[in-house]
Chain A
Amino acid sequence: MYVARRLFEVIPVLIAVTFIVFVSVRLIPGDPARAVAGLEADDQTVEAVRKDLGLDEPLLVQYGRFLARAARGNFGVSYYYGTTVTEEIVRRFPATLLLAVSGITLSIVIGMGIGVLSAINHGTFFDRGTLIFAIAGVSMPSFWLGLMFIIFFAVQLRWLPAGGFGGWRHLVLPALTLGLFGAGTIARLTRSSVLEVLKQDYVRTARSKGLAGYRVILKHALRNALIPIITVLGLQFGAFLSRAVVTETVFGWPGIARLLVISVLDRDFPLIQGTVLWLAVIFMALNLLVDLTYSLIDPRIRYG
């Protein structure tokens, strides 16, 4: 019931997103027909291209065609690359996925680890440091953090490459840049959640039964502290994708987020359209996944 309701709610938002992307690209200054025909082309050729691309038709008809093509994964041909937009996106998507998964994994591992330790050592210097680490993490420009890593690890120490895409060594600095940003927020939230849960009666009962400290945390406290953490993870996806745009640019990582920036700078309309829509749909899918995961962890939500 909850799953069906959530899926139903996503549909109008998805349609609205496609409409915004469609209209936005058409508001970009410049004539797409001339961009395809070439700057030297005469007016007759440009008009022929305009007719061929369906750009002379009413806006709603164009939108309908766009939706129909988008549903089949057809976003047209990139002006700059000459290949289909879908090919470019599919070629680059695995790199972004690898970076995002690595970054989020690092965020979760570092963040939850620090958060739990902070909750256990509540009121100490370590606990205080966690809160400051969290605020510092979200205050730091990720492109600056990435460049600082390059200066220290690549230029000074020469331990890791400064950028590019290859083996695991190329992944370390970008993943760390992306991961540290989210780790602070997750640490702070884990700390609050675990502290809240540790006050509950069932935790006191578990302790009085003689359960070891770490088992109390892992078996009882952490599971119940997961719901707000998953909420934040869901909210963090948007920030992760935003930071991925910058991180991929800093490290020359050949992902889809960097492709978006290149497409805007090149005014490659089909590529802008395709990458924005892809990223928006991925983001919505991730949020939906997070919402559906709630219902697995908290049965009360399933029947809500």
Chain B
Amino acid sequence: MSLEFTPKRNEIQAEGPRSFWRHPIIHTLWRDPWTLLGALLVFTYILVVLFAPLLAPADPEKGNILVRLKPPSREHLLGTDGLGRDLLSRILFGARISGVIAVFAVIVSGAVGVLLGALAGYFEGWTDTLIGRFVDTLLAFPGILLAILVLAILGPGLSSIIIAIGIFGVPSYARVVRGGVLTVKKHDFVEAARALGATPGAILVRHVLRNAWAPVIVLTSLNFGTAVLTASALSFLGLGVQPPTAERGAMIAEGREHIRVAPHITTFTGLCIFLTVLGFNLLGDGLRDALDPRSRER
């Protein structure tokens, strides 16, 4: 009987670098039209976030009371709101606000969640139990309830909503990373790194997390969509970003007061939120199929 040492990473290196176009993610983008649509929607959204001041036809804060509640026209492509402000401009700038909230909220969720999940999965034992109970406690609060509780303490505003949505997203990252770490740490290359004297921190970052990143990528894409949706819901309720800042949820709340005479405010603003979130969800779904073919159902 002979012992064969076949470390996974050396095998991968021996095959040579993979062609960019044959990478699972790129291959899925070309193969699946829905993932491609998701990627296009996300790309469009990123362009809007970056170039809103150039794309917006008017100042989003400046209104003309004489043209309030007007339907779509040549001067105002999506119409005007209750204060005569150009709706298209406000939606474009509103996308920016949502983008900022989503990026920072996902950073907060990801940073805290990945850390907790990595520690729980790597050290197990009491660490895992304590972190598990903490995550269970956060999960005991249904969805938006936790975010509302945090906003009750911090008060409405941009930074408050980032923290509230960030905390809300921690459990999903913690659970996903814990699962990934538990699987990866059993591999031989991790044992080899330990035998070579690497510290637990170095092993976690350079070996374990590097090989457990796939579900985190998928979750991040899905969480962007969730963050945008939650931020708009909280602002709609009056708990998030406050008027006159052009946040799309708050805009829908304002539009609700004029729903009988100016339904275009609610319709177009909500449609933009829907397309944004749809893009992230379609892309996230496609990434999941690319990175874990077992989950593929299409």
A residues with CB within 8 A of B: 12-14, 16-17, 20-21, 24-25, 27-29, 128, 131-132, 135-136, 138-144, 147-148, 150-151, 155, 188, 191-192, 195, 237-242, 245-246, 249-250, 260-261, 264-265, 267, 272, 276, 279-280, 283-284
Contacts and interface: CB of A to CB of B under 8 A. Distances in A.
Contact of B233 (A25, A141, A276): A141
A155 B263 contact: yes
Given A28-B153, A147-B252, A245 B274 contact: no
Contacts of B266: 144, 147-148, 151
B142 A279 contact: yes
A14 B278 CA distance: 35
Contacts of A239: 142-143
Given A246-B144, A264-B239, 6 more contacts: A20-B141, A28-B153, A141-B236, A143-B233, A144-B274, A250-B256
B239 A238 contact: no
Contacts of A25: 152
Contacts of B153: 24, 27-29
Contact of A143 (B141, B149, B225, B252): B252
B145 A279 contact: yes
B239 A265 contact: yes
A245 B267 contact: no
Given A13-B136, A16-B137, A20-B137, A139 B145 contact: no
Contacts of A29: 153, 155
Contacts of A283: 140-142, 145
Interface of B is mostly: helix
Contacts of A264: 148, 151-152, 239
23 contacts: A13-B137, A20-B137, A20-B141, A27-B153, A29-B155, A128-B298, A141-B236, A141-B252, A141-B270, A141-B273, A144-B266, A148-B267, A155-B260, A238-B142, A241-B144, A241-B145, A260-B148, A261-B237, A264-B152, A272-B149, A272-B152, A276-B149, A280-B140
Contacts of B229: 139, 141
Interface in B146-163: 148-153, 155
Contact of A280 (B145, B271, B282): B145
Nearest to B275: A139
Return the 7 tightest CB-CB contacts between A and B, nearest first: A144-B270, A242-B143, A238-B142, A242-B144, A241-B142, A139-B278, A16-B137
A73 to B, nearest CB: 19
A181 to B, nearest CB: 11
Contacts of A150: 259
A284 B142 CA distance: 9
Contacts of A246: 144, 233, 236-237
A28 B152 contact: yes
A74 B270 CA distance: 41
B278 A135 contact: yes
Contacts of B149: 20-21, 24, 272, 276
Nearest to A147: B266
Contacts of A237: 142
Nearest to A20: B137
Contacts of B273: 141, 144
Contact of B259 (A147, A272, A276): A147
B297 interface: yes
Contacts of B259: 147, 150-151, 155
B29 to A, nearest CB: 16
A268 to B, nearest CB: 10
Contacts of B285: 135
Interface in B243-298: 249, 252, 256, 259-260, 263, 266-267, 269-271, 273-274, 277-278, 281-282, 285, 297-298
B34 interface: yes
Contact of A242 (B145, B260, B263, B270): B145
Nearest to B276: A139
B238 interface: yes
B263 A143 contact: no
